[in-house]
Structure 1
Amino acid sequence: MKSTFNILYILIFAIIAFLLDPCDANDDACGRLANDIKRSNKDSYFSVKHSDVQACFESFPYDKNLAQKTIETLKKTLQGFYVYLSEAKEQPRQGFSFRAIDLVKELDSLLSNNYKTDYQFMTDIVSLIDEMKDNHLKFRPACYLIFIYNQQLSLYSAVNNDKQVIKIFADELDKNTIDCEVTHIDGRPSIEVIKEFADTLPISRDSGVRFNFALSGVTFNKNGDLIESPGSFTIRNQLPKQSSVEYALKCANDTSKKFTREWKIRPLASNIFNTSKDYWNTFCQLNNSIELTSPNAETVVPKIYKMSECKMVYKTPIAKFFVLSDNKTGVIVLTSVLPPDGNFVNEMFELQNGFNSLEKEGVKKLVLDFSGNPGGSLELALFIVYLLFPETDPSFNLDMVVTELSREAFFQATSQSVHEDFIDASLIPPLVNISSKESIARWAAETAYSVTAIGSPFDIFSYKNPAINDHFHTVKEFIGNNTYLRGGTSTQYTSKFVNRYSERLNLFIELLSGNFFNKYEWKSEDMIILTDGYCGSSCSSIAQRMAIKNNVSTVAVGGYKDTPLSYSSFPGGQVLEFEELIAELDVVGLLQNETLADLIPPPFSIRVIFGFTLKEAYDVVNKDNVNQEDVLEFVYKPAEHRFYHDEISARDPSVLWLKAAKELLN
């Protein structure tokens, strides 16, 4: 009897304990993930399980109401302002590789799918928008970007004996695999697998550029050291479909090797969560009171690669200047067009110091390496063009789409503008500590940069008509009457325009009176642009202006063997983040206008990164003097010359620079 009582007591106690703690983390998908992170967070070698991440992501059920609101925000933004919405329905030009898309129609179609999880729905939106191959058009839900996935090895492409192969660039776990040929990945030919992955990337309309972006190379850090630039095939920010990758290698002496590598998965945010509910409230739901915090960075010292054919003579945060071993060729490596400290004016002077250093070294030829450059400041980009070609206007014609909503934005922003007849003199900095010619020039540059700043992209007084070189005087004049048939859709666009101050350069140059900046002796025929095709946004502006307007030759590196390769990507015109758009509409009073309520995109209910292309750039008169009305984003422009990597040049770009100088600049 006593034994029965004890058993009953134990059962009652167990039931009470269960009721008091019904949400054991081991029974909660994200809870298991949280426990793994907490147990191993101080171990730099730890990795959470792929299955646990997937289970956490898939623990959030599909919410039809949230889905409809998300699609509504995307559609209204795109229909109101996305400049390529109609053009994207056109079939690609020969040389490009992408699918023509009616984006609004296909976003609508997602709502008819029978989703079970939010993750599946959001992943389909990401994939659809990435298919546009417009790297300025981004949709990324923060909820599923909390982890980084690393194979702890990297790959590159080499061409040897007229054969293209994939090789191991670096391997954190097994140095013996480096430079082994990867014959197969997951049982399939390696190039085929990488191409399939690369074609999911949004970074270019050129398949060869996407292929390059999937593979590893080298780049310069802010200290001027040459380090690895990992490819997106082996380091990802979206959950891979499989938990591991199998590699089949052929190494020295034709020895074969096969191994499977698990993804090393680490969190990118250190916010604490215990359950799926915690995870959703912290990372997924829009909550301005919660800021995502970064964990302590892993102290991994990158390998520094050496260059055999050059010496560095000057460096800035975004540019490195070299003289090649031939003692007559200079190299400018531009890794970005966005100074990390945001000091654009200082970077202008620093760039000039770099070119001056090359001039003092007596170099007669220039190799302009723009590989791996994601872009940045358009003003700084066009300033670089101006430094080398001061006699030419670096601008291309732009326009924006005219819709009921954008039309109202033009009227309202312009009605509040102070730029019709004068610049904002209140922004002129005081004239202090002026003791030299350079300090006067810096003051003038700061002044020009400040007072000509564009307040709103919808303020038409910020633009001028390139045909008459005068600013627009009325919104009606700016909008004009320009309807084009694109993708089978009649769409209205504004009149062609350039920035009123030519990206702040004209006034800048006038203030300096041409007395500070050198006029270099280098001509177009003395220069060549070298790029892997990932020279995007404002970098593309530099490359295309120099190539198209100034006849600078181009050479592309990598891509698919015997297939032409673009020398730049996604030239765009101007990108606008969703938060910036809403702020602009709020400032000009459109959010308070009830008559426009059905057109205004509602705010997202989730944390999301969303941006789109607001302006598009146009091609110029070509060599046959035939007027081009093509939008640059959709014009295929392959490089004139082509190089491929081998085992040496993949890690030592000076070898390719010298090759370009010897073969293409003499």
Structure 2
Amino acid sequence: MKLVNNQSGYSTGLPSILFAITLLCSSVTAAPSNSTTSHKSDPCAAIAGKTTATFHEAKACLDHFPYNETIASQTLDTVRKVTKELYVFNEIATSPPKVEGLSAVPVDIHHGLDVIQHEKWQSDREFQESVALLLDKVHDTHLVYSPFCYRQFIFWQPIQLNALVRDQKSVVNVAYVKNDIWPDAKESWVGCEVTQIDDKNAMDMIVNYAVNNNGESKDVNTCFNNIMNTKTYFHGWDDGADDLGYHRFLPAQEMHSYTMRCPKKGTSPAQEEFDDPFTVQVPWVAQVPNNFNDATSYWNNYCQSSHTAYAKRGAIGHLDVEELRLMHEGQAFDLSPEAARNAAAGGARGPYVEFIALDKPQADVGVIDIQSFSIQSGDRQDFIDTFYSGLKEFESKGIKKIILDLSSNGGGDACAGEFIINTFFGSTPDYPSDIKYSPFLERVIKKAIAIPGTKWSDYKNDKYKDAEWFTQTNTYTRGKEQVKFSQPVSLSCDRWESELTIDKDKKTPWKAEDLLILSDGRCGSTCAIVASRLRISHQVAAMGLGGIRGNRMQFASFPGGESERLSGFLMDLQQLDLQDDPDAPRPFPERADMGWTFREAYRPTAKGAEMGKETELLEYSVNNADCRMHFDDENADNVKKLWSDVAQVFTSGQCPLIKD
């Protein structure tokens, strides 16, 4: 799950994380040193109760809170412990392998944290964002720092863009406008071609931004898709979505200039008959949260944590589990991510999974739109029953081919993915995976075996008893270091199988050649594992959607095995009575959360001498799609037309499996 993305607006950045931090440091004005209820001296009070605010009004409120060295030190101590002891890619991130098709910038996390600690930041927001930016540069969406204090506003660009192929050329197009937040945005701009942004070629600027400023994936095509939108495929993931028109963080500048040319009245864009071009200055507009009256109440409601004073005690003692659960369940927002998605897209696409039979001439093609694997425990049986009934309906309608649409699926429950694969293919080989060893985590796993109830008792290796799968380590090269890892493990789905009604003997009439994976690359985590297993182990062809025209793209992103959140991990430690372990990470002093990858997954080819090689890791290998589909003027805002276009390519045999 992606909690937060990077700190850029539209300005492009250099690959150097230290340069990016320096830019951030120099771009913020000093925060006020005192807080009063006067609107003149309290910028938060000045906008409280408003629906929207200008860029400068929102910035003044967010930068009102001064930098605090104690808070900074406590925050960095926790980030250091997590990345050093628990983050499985910490060492390889410093010196990643050079793999054609991947964009992985070397990031020494701990050196970057040292640089951040020695800076004299002008505001607390400035410091907090520097930590988020540093982790974002690793290009692992699972690795994230999310300061909820500075994620309460939603920043919109009133012009929302998408990328289309029009007459064999890539163009930047106005997908829709948000005149509800900026009345000067004109509906007549929809369908106009954007030729320049901030006096640069629009497509070049967007590609450059995707390559250098988006931490969504190590595949630049996925990053490109992440920063573009259509109404149907709105990319407002979670709380930190970083597209060109929607931020959860303060953008880098107040406004941007768009040079557009619009089709002459009565013509279509494809006819390329345009009126004279014109340039518009478009501001960032802030959607204001509701639950504050002034700076003091803003801090108390959004920033102050019940764990703020933990450093004054010798040990944590009792953790505020309700506070942790609030953050873990994504309820620490005033303006919810779901509301943002619905506001832009005009409604969500639907829950979990939908089965759609296409109309003629593709009436024998069905789409399984798998929107999420984050199945709530109470919904699991309904998810299973819906999947079975959907397949039964497809059979009754004579569906011969199935498109598995995994676009913009951020993952979730690995056992839900296992269920889908097994439903089609009976069984599937486990992908080898392992966990980085640390003495602290050994204590956690040993305790978890003795006290069931946490995720740490769900891993197994049939050759080893109890915790031996973790304590009997292997040493592999990661970057320039030798790192200890557990024995290969698989995730137990016993709870799914014991608590739910699953037909393990169910047979389906569809074979691998009857299935097609459709993905915009934003198929991550569990989704990436499912797509990779379908493609590599079961030979299901994959079609990439969108991306930068002219190069191959991957069909999955951030496939690093499994992730954890600090909020959930601390609740596990409390349950195991290990919250006071000297090596345990402490809760953040401000309301914030952190995510990281703790289990690395290998390709199925990682056997024998290949096991343990970093180039066999899914996170650091290339999984290219077999063919490509781009958005055009007709299918960009009509998902059924898009599926129909995909079906035409699929049924005509134009997307054959390419042997790697």
TM-score (norm 1): 0.79
Do the aligned residues in 2 keep the contact of 1:316 with 1:347 (CA within 8 Å)? no
Structure 2 distance, partners of 1:544, 1:521, is 22
Structure 1 distance, partners of 2:388, 2:37, is 63
Asked if 1:262 is matched to 2:283, the reply is yes
Q: CA deviation at 1:321?
A: 2.4
Do the aligned residues in 1 keep the contact of 2:148 with 2:333 (CA within 8 Å)? no
User: Residues 211 and 295 of structure 1: is their aligned pair in 2 closer, same or farther, counting only changes over 3 Å?
Assistant: closer
Q: For 1:404, which of 422, 436, 439 is the aligned residue?
A: 439
Partner in structure 2 of residue 186 of structure 1: 198
Asked if 1:102 is matched to 2:112, the reply is no
User: Residues 478 and 145 of structure 1: is their aligned pair in 2 closer, same or farther, counting only changes over 3 Å?
Assistant: closer
5 Å-filtered alignment, 1:542-561, equals: 542-561=530-549
Partner in structure 2 of residue 650 of structure 1: 636
Q: Deviations over 1:176-231 (max 9, x none)?
A: 1111110111111112332343342222111110111111124489xxxxxxxx98
Q: For 1:217, which of 226, 230, 245 is the aligned residue?
A: 230
Asked if 1:233 is matched to 2:238, the reply is no
Three-state SS of the structure 2 residue aligned to 1:564 is: coil
Do the aligned residues in 2 keep the contact of 1:463 with 1:472 (CA within 8 Å)? no
Partner in structure 1 of residue 620 of structure 2: 634
Structure 2 distance, partners of 1:626, 1:494, is 16
Three-state SS of the structure 2 residue aligned to 1:111 is: helix
Do the aligned residues in 2 keep the contact of 1:318 with 1:338 (CA within 8 Å)? no
Do the aligned residues in 1 keep the contact of 2:357 with 2:363 (CA within 8 Å)? no
2:44 maps to a residue whose letter is L
Partner in structure 2 of residue 88 of structure 1: 93
5 Å-filtered alignment, 1:574-585, equals: 574-585=562-573
Q: CA deviation at 1:105?
A: 2.1
Do the aligned residues in 2 keep the contact of 1:155 with 1:231 (CA within 8 Å)? no
Three-state SS of the structure 2 residue aligned to 1:254 is: coil
Partner in structure 1 of residue 220 of structure 2: 207
Do the aligned residues in 2 keep the contact of 1:95 with 1:636 (CA within 8 Å)? yes
Q: Deviations over 1:530-570 (max 9, x none)?
A: 11111111111221110011000111011111111110111
Partner in structure 1 of residue 128 of structure 2: 122
Partner in structure 2 of residue 463 of structure 1: 459
1:85 maps to a residue whose letter is N
Q: For 2:39, which of 3, 22, 26 is the aligned residue?
A: 26
Asked if 1:536 is matched to 2:524, the reply is yes
User: Residues 218 and 322 of structure 1: is their aligned pair in 2 closer, same or farther, counting only changes over 3 Å?
Assistant: farther
Partner in structure 1 of residue 486 of structure 2: 494
5 Å-filtered alignment, 1:221-300, equals: 232-252=243-263, 253-255=273-275, 256-267=277-288, 269-274=289-294, 276-287=295-306, 294=334
5 Å-filtered alignment, 1:335-354, equals: 335-339=371-375, 342-354=378-390
Q: For 1:621, which of 558, 582, 605 is the aligned residue?
A: 605
User: Residues 637 and 357 of structure 1: is their aligned pair in 2 closer, same or farther, counting only changes over 3 Å?
Assistant: same
Structure 2 distance, partners of 1:318, 1:237, is 27
Partner in structure 1 of residue 398 of structure 2: 362
Q: Deviations over 1:49-90 (max 9, x none)?
A: 211221222222222222111110111122121111112121
Q: For 1:320, which of 343, 355, 358 is the aligned residue?
A: 355
5 Å-filtered alignment, 1:481-520, equals: 481-501=473-493, 504-505=496-497, 514=504, 517=506, 519-520=507-508
Structure 2 distance, partners of 1:246, 1:177, is 14
2:439 maps to a residue whose letter is E
User: Residues 54 and 525 of structure 1: is their aligned pair in 2 closer, same or farther, counting only changes over 3 Å?
Assistant: same
Structure 1 distance, partners of 2:304, 2:115, is 24
Q: CA deviation at 1:161?
A: 3.2
User: Residues 554 and 637 of structure 1: is their aligned pair in 2 closer, same or farther, counting only changes over 3 Å?
Assistant: same
Structure 2 distance, partners of 1:24, 1:304, is 38
User: Residues 660 and 341 of structure 1: is their aligned pair in 2 closer, same or farther, counting only changes over 3 Å?
Assistant: farther
Q: CA deviation at 1:293?
A: 6.9
Of the structure 1 ranges 625-634 and 162-171, higher mean CA displacement relative to structure 2 is found in 625-634
Of the structure 1 ranges 542-551 and 403-412, higher mean CA displacement relative to structure 2 is found in 403-412
Asked if 1:607 is matched to 2:591, the reply is yes
Larger Rg over CA atoms: 1
Q: Deviations over 1:625-652 (max 9, x none)?
A: 9778411111111111112221112123
Partner in structure 2 of residue 139 of structure 1: 145
2:459 maps to a residue whose letter is Y
Structure 2 distance, partners of 1:91, 1:65, is 37
Do the aligned residues in 1 keep the contact of 2:162 with 2:229 (CA within 8 Å)? yes
Partner in structure 2 of residue 17 of structure 1: none
Of the structure 1 ranges 248-257 and 177-186, higher mean CA displacement relative to structure 2 is found in 248-257
Partner in structure 2 of residue 56 of structure 1: 61
5 Å-filtered alignment, 1:140-155, equals: 140-155=146-161
User: Residues 592 and 335 of structure 1: is their aligned pair in 2 closer, same or farther, counting only changes over 3 Å?
Assistant: closer
User: Residues 534 and 514 of structure 1: is their aligned pair in 2 closer, same or farther, counting only changes over 3 Å?
Assistant: closer
User: Residues 588 and 250 of structure 1: is their aligned pair in 2 closer, same or farther, counting only changes over 3 Å?
Assistant: same
Structure 2 distance, partners of 1:405, 1:330, is 49
Do the aligned residues in 2 keep the contact of 1:377 with 1:538 (CA within 8 Å)? yes
Structure 1 distance, partners of 2:300, 2:83, is 28
User: Residues 622 and 217 of structure 1: is their aligned pair in 2 closer, same or farther, counting only changes over 3 Å?
Assistant: farther
Three-state SS of the structure 2 residue aligned to 1:140 is: strand
Q: For 1:168, which of 156, 165, 174 is the aligned residue?
A: 174
Structure 2 distance, partners of 1:303, 1:284, is 29
Q: CA deviation at 1:26?
A: 2.8
Do the aligned residues in 2 keep the contact of 1:395 with 1:502 (CA within 8 Å)? no
Three-state SS of the structure 2 residue aligned to 1:122 is: helix
% identical equivalent positions: 24
Q: CA deviation at 1:607?
A: 0.6
Three-state SS of the structure 2 residue aligned to 1:343 is: helix
Asked if 1:587 is matched to 2:575, the reply is yes
Q: CA deviation at 1:317?
A: 4.4
Three-state SS of the structure 1 residue aligned to 2:455 is: coil
Structure 2 distance, partners of 1:299, 1:111, is 35
Three-state SS of the structure 2 residue aligned to 1:25 is: coil
> How many correspondences in the alignment?
568
Do the aligned residues in 2 keep the contact of 1:399 with 1:616 (CA within 8 Å)? yes
User: Residues 71 and 299 of structure 1: is their aligned pair in 2 closer, same or farther, counting only changes over 3 Å?
Assistant: closer
Of the structure 1 ranges 339-348 and 57-66, higher mean CA displacement relative to structure 2 is found in 339-348
User: Residues 150 and 303 of structure 1: is their aligned pair in 2 closer, same or farther, counting only changes over 3 Å?
Assistant: closer
Root-mean-square deviation (Å): 3.1
Do the aligned residues in 2 keep the contact of 1:373 with 1:539 (CA within 8 Å)? yes
Structure 2 distance, partners of 1:349, 1:22, is 56
Asked if 1:662 is matched to 2:660, the reply is no
Structure 1 distance, partners of 2:228, 2:283, is 19
Do the aligned residues in 1 keep the contact of 2:469 with 2:489 (CA within 8 Å)? no
Q: CA deviation at 1:145?
A: 0.8
1:272 maps to a residue whose letter is F
Partner in structure 1 of residue 409 of structure 2: 373
TM-score (norm 2): 0.80
